[in-house]
Structure 1
Amino acid sequence: MKSIVAKALFNSHSYAEYRKLVTDLLTEGKSTGNEQSESLTNYSKLNEARMNRLEKTIKISETVAEKLQNLDNHYIWLVLSEGWCGDAAQILPVLEKMAHVSNKRIDLRIALRDENNDLMNQYLTNGGRAIPKVIIICKEAGIVRADWGPRPKGATELMATHKREVGPIDEKIKTDLQLWYLADKGISTQEELLEIMENIK
């Protein structure tokens, strides 16, 4: 497991590098990932616009910032993601801002899911390769301490209700999910990750 994590870290990107990679691929009419299609490219374009907006609007609460700055250890948040993923577009800007305010307690790294199958297979959600997945690594010890994802509890419940009552994922649930994120303003992601960080012994 340690070597799988090390390999993913070696090939990972900073947030700025990840954004540039997605943007550069879009200029070629491509998205990240093994599968290429017009719809995935369109999702990547939409996510670019979303992330641009969120980078300007997401706020990290003073309470969260202070608690992150007082973490006992230094951590790497290694996130499995792809440019076409709508949940990742909503969550990554929050993670970046949390890492930024942590006073270097958290180093955010992003690895592409399709380039890290071995690692992704260790963190399946209900048997699926759902992303984003945040793998929390203690820098000092070099070991994985926890993981989180692919979405906050409220968004997970929204999806589960839709699947139970309506069936497969459709355009309506995609819209409802984006509206949920819009109303939440990144607060659930902040609170859930902070709780995990504070519970690491």
Structure 2
Amino acid sequence: MEQHLGSITRDLIHHAMSYQEYRFLIDQLLAENKTTGHNHSEAYLDYTRMNVQRMNRWDKTAKVSPLLKETVEAIQENQIWLVITEAWCGDAAQNIPYLVKLAEFNPKVQIKFILRDEHPEVMDEYLTNGTRSIPKVVGMTADLSCELFTWGPRPASAHELVLEYKRDSKGMSYKEFSETLHLWYARNKNQELEAELLPLITNTLVS
């Protein structure tokens, strides 16, 4: 019988995208004035175009501390990091390139991507306060016998900004709030993301 973690099966992992395939898909869809998911409005296209710029920037500038680099390099058992995402998601664009950089430090780590709206059965197993918030990262053993960690949809301080805005927008438009959130990401430079991932990855190491 096939090993699986809930709705995460070997077949799903086999058909999941690499980072290069994910980025190619986004470029291909934008060339057709589309994005991932079902909403191809101009607003969602603009979000997606901006996210391509964000990922391009982080691909070049994201820095990983020596400690986290050494921690990832110390992974001895094969792992899969499955990222649930969509091209229009700003939080995904801010966090995914850093995750990709981490995975590149160790060939035993395979990072794969699936689209939330194409896999609701997976997404619904990893809700955040009852919502389908993305990105969501699920770390697991390569044989799918054990879930190692989950993370997402955003670092805690950024998440608190979102919750505060939802509780009371103080008259701020969503566009204005989005600019505030992405300014937080630019200033934080993945430091809080790293601080949250370090203990998660450390706990996966075989002693």
TM-score (norm 1): 0.92
| Matches of 2:56 and 2:151, distance apart in 1 | 24
Residue of 171, 175, 188 corresponding to 1:184: 188
Percent of aligned pairs sharing the same letter:
38
Structure 1 stretches of 4+ with a deviation exceeding 6 A read none
The one-letter code matched in structure 1 to 2:22 is Y
Give runs of aligned pairs for residues 50-89 of structure 1, distance below 5 A. Answer: 50-89=54-93
Farther off after superposition, 37-46 or 186-195? 186-195
Query: In structure 1, the residue corresponding to 2:8 is in which secondary structure?
Result: helix
Give runs of aligned pairs for residues 114-125 of structure 1, distance below 5 A. Answer: 114-125=117-128
Q: Classify 1:169/1:198 alpha carbon distance in 2 versus 1 (closer, same or farther; 3 Å).
A: farther
RMSD value, Cα: 1.8
Give 2:166's aligned residue. Answer: 163
The one-letter code matched in structure 2 to 1:88 is A
Give runs of aligned pairs for residues 28-67 of structure 1, distance below 5 A. Answer: 28-67=32-71
1:149 aligns with 2:152: yes
Count of aligned pairs: 200
| Matches of 1:94 and 1:86, distance apart in 2 | 14
| Matches of 1:131 and 1:3, distance apart in 2 | 18
Q: Could you say which structure has the higher helix fraction?
A: 1
Give unmatched runs, 5+ long, in structure 1: none
Farther off after superposition, 90-99 or 4-13? 4-13
Asked if the contact 2:5–2:144 (Cα under 8 Å) also holds between the matched residues in 1, the reply is no
The one-letter code matched in structure 1 to 2:183 is L
TM-score (norm 2): 0.90
